[in-house]
Structure 1
Amino acid sequence: MHAITIERPGGPEALRWTEVPDPEPAAGEVLIEVAAAGVNRADALQRQGNYPPPKDAPPYLGLEVSGRIKAIGDGVHGWHLGQEVCALLGGGGYAELVNVPAGQVLPVPRNVGLVDAAGLPEVAATVFSNVVDVARLKPGETLLVHGGGSGIGTFAVQLGKALGAEVVATARAAKRERLLELGADRVIDYQAADFAKEVRADVVLDIMGGAYLKQNVEVLKTNGRLVVIGMQGGRRGELDLGQLLAKRALVAGTTLRARPASEKAAIVRGVREEVWPLLDEGMIRPVIDRRFPMAEAAAAHRVLETNEHFGKLILERT
């Protein structure tokens, strides 16, 4: 088969469409013939040498795919050959074939095409596990989503609205109208305004890390919850513990990729039970900015690093 390999850590030019050995499913796994793969910020970090894959994952990039089941390992039940699926991966999605633990496989939602479904597993699992499992967002509460125009952001805006929350997003001014159309109640231009002076929130979903820590705590209402899922603004920040205690607030940090398979499977079960019906009903939809041939992954990474896209970038097998 062919896969995108990294010639050496560096920029997008380091990516190569290369022939590599075919995988074979082990017990508990299914082999997926890949139709498309989602592009994520973590892929760029891995390409740069800053985010190595878990030791049990393929060395190739790619945290989510869609495709058809080509082979089934021992002990796997509930799936059949040729079935259209999408899946959450530890790595290896930028390829023609990939093995996936059966617990991380999802059916393609009823109202979603096979290629576009590749942009769902990673964002759905990330947003659900943090906004629902960790932060316990309730109807009537206010959710602040940083990076509202990203793949994570566009999904979080829709899920927050579907759960009955007021949703505020930060984003560039150019993305404001599309976020309002997607369901956001308010959009704050982070380049022109201090979001901490503009909103108070029960839950904050943050991709920035250190650079936003002080302001995020200021934003929280009493009993508020801040969930940090990224460090685009650095890994260190100053935390006012007095303010945190006075607000009886929670600060949590989570990652998805390094979790054991049992935890990922539990998250995927929750996504299938609670989020997939919203996709089937059309209350949430994948937001795809554009699609690239998989062999041209470098072009997709260049777009990713401009931060000018809205929603997901997809690599499609052609």
Structure 2
Amino acid sequence: MSASFASALDAAREAAAAQHYPQGALYVVATPIGNLADITLRALHVLQMADTVACEDTRHTQALLRAYGIDKGSAQCLAVHQHNEAEAAQNVVLRLQQGQRVAYVSDAGTPGVSDPGARLVAAVQAAGLRAVPLPGASSVTTALSVAGAVAHGSEHGGFVFAGFLPTKNAERATAIAQQLAPEPRCVVLLEAPHRIGELAQALAVLGERPVTLARELTKQFEEVTTQPAHALQAWLEGSPQRSRGEFVVLLHPVAVTTDDGESLRVLRLLVQELPLKTAVRLAADITGAPRNQLYNTALAWKREDGAGDEPGDSDA
């Protein structure tokens, strides 16, 4: 154990021990996403108290617990990950029915968001048992807090969590064109370092739309930058370090035109007669309105009308 956490364990017992922690309950515990100090006192107390710690990776979690001075034997750690979650959930349910307190942690952050845990919680609730949340670190909310990308006080406020996009190029391009481009709200994506270059290249079709890349959050080499979508690949290639670490990618809200101006009138007429890509290009040339803004507006119209995107529309 790091000596710096000895007082934290004492503080956790003093601050959290007086609360009620029912037996036969699953405690869903958020853990740090990089910086070990980002652990809550209540999380430390529950991890000490738990009869079983269910976790995405037992070796990773045992190392984390040892860093805090919490000793759990191999029999007290149970692997629950994406490949065995349904089967392992029944093991957890059995332990809960025996009156155990089970804490569940993913490798980092809040379980059940982009990490395993949702099926486990669903199985526990289906068995009539209780799941208790212990909030804490999350890469999603951490990145959102410093990106300035969530619009408030408008019809397009809030954000959409999309997680990981498909890994195949064609499927990823389709998701961007049909789901992300017309979405006016902030969109949150996650990406691994070995695929961030491919994602940046695919997002270039969004043109000037601001995109925030947040890498190595809470760690020593944390970096957060906001670039136009078309410039992401060049920024990544500016330094070998920039493609390392896990990424949170935030597409900023789209400025959707809602007035009855000349650009919308022209666009509406052209869209009725021409393919979307051609209509957008001509409307931008005629009126001087931003092409990306017109493109996203036209896509929104098509979605409202129940029509799908046309082949090649993502090239606008």
The question of a shared fold, defined as TM-score above 0.5 by the shorter chain, is answered with no
Give me the TM-score of the superposition, normalised by structure 2: 0.27
**Quick check: which one's strand share is greater?**
1
Tell me which structure has the larger Cα radius of gyration. Answer: 2
